[in-house]
Structure 1
Amino acid sequence: MLVKFHSNVAGELFMFAPVARALLDILGKRADARGVITAEQLRPAIERLQQAVAAGGERPLPAGDGATRTPDDAPAPSVSLAQRAFPLIDLMQRTLREDGFILWQAPQDF
C-alpha cells in the first residue's frame, strides 16, 4: 500500500506503508489513513527525524514493498533510516520555509 504525503506548498512524496509507518512513529504520529503535520509541528518534526538519523541512521528500515529479492534472486540491499528519511525531511524543510503544512493519505489505516 502506498502512502501519499502532500505539502500544500512543496509537492508530493509517495512511500510504501511500512516505511511511512516507521517514520511517522518517530514523529509521534499515528499511521491513520489521513493525517497532518501542521506548520507549528514541522520544526519539531524535522528535528526528531534528524535526531533519529544521527542516533541510528545506518540501521535498515523495512523495504516496504514486500520485495525481499532482486530480479536475479539475490537478497535485496538494505536501505538505511537515513536514506528513507531524507525525502520526508527535505519535503518538510521546503514546506517549513513557505509556512505550509503536510497531509498524508492512504487507502486505510496502516
Structure 2
Amino acid sequence: MLVRFHSSVAGELFMFAPVAHALLDFIGKRADARGVITAEQLADAIARLQQAVAAGGSLPLPCEAEPQLDRDGRPETPVSLSRRAFPLIDLLQRTQRDEGYILWEAPQDF
C-alpha cells in the first residue's frame, strides 16, 4: 500500500506504508488513513526525524513477506533510516519555509 504525503506549498511524496508508518511514529503521529502535520507542528516533526537519523539505525525493507536476495544470493540489507527519512525531511523543510502544511492519505489505516 502506498501513502501519499501532500504539501500545500511544495509538492507531494509517495512511500510504502511500513516506511511511512515508522516515520510517522518518530514524529508522534498515528498512521491513520488521513492525517495532517500543521504549520505549527512542522518544526517539531523535523527535529524529531533529524534526532532519529542522528541516532542511526535502519528501517526494514518495505516488503517483508519474503526476504529478498541480492544478485549474489545474500539477503538484502535494510535501508538506513537517513535514506528513508531524507525525502520526508526535505518536504517538511520546504513546507515550513513557505508556511504550509502537509496532509497524508492512504486507502486505509496502516
TM more than 0.5: yes
CA distance in 1, matches of 2:4, 2:47: 21
Runs of 4+ in 1 over 2 A off after TM superposition: 65-68, 70-74
The 5 A counterparts of 1:4-83 are: 4-55=4-55, 57=56, 59-66=57-64, 68-70=67-69, 72=71, 73-83=73-83
* Structure 1 unmatched runs, 5+: none
The number of residues matched between the two structures is: 108
Q: Which amino acid aligns with 1:109?
A: D
Q: Which amino acid aligns with 2:13?
A: L
Q: Is the 8 A contact 2:19 2:84 kept in 1?
A: yes
Q: Is the 8 A contact 2:3 2:106 kept in 1?
A: yes
Q: Output the TM-score relative to the length of structure 1.
A: 0.91
Say if 1:37 and 1:76 are closer, same or farther in 2 by CA, change over 3 A: same
CA distance in 1, matches of 2:14, 2:28: 19
Root-mean-square deviation (CA), in Å?
Answer: 1.4
* Structure 2 unmatched runs, 5+: none
| Aligned-residue offset at 1:78 | 1.6
Q: Which amino acid aligns with 2:54?
A: A
Q: Is the 8 A contact 2:70 2:76 kept in 1?
A: no
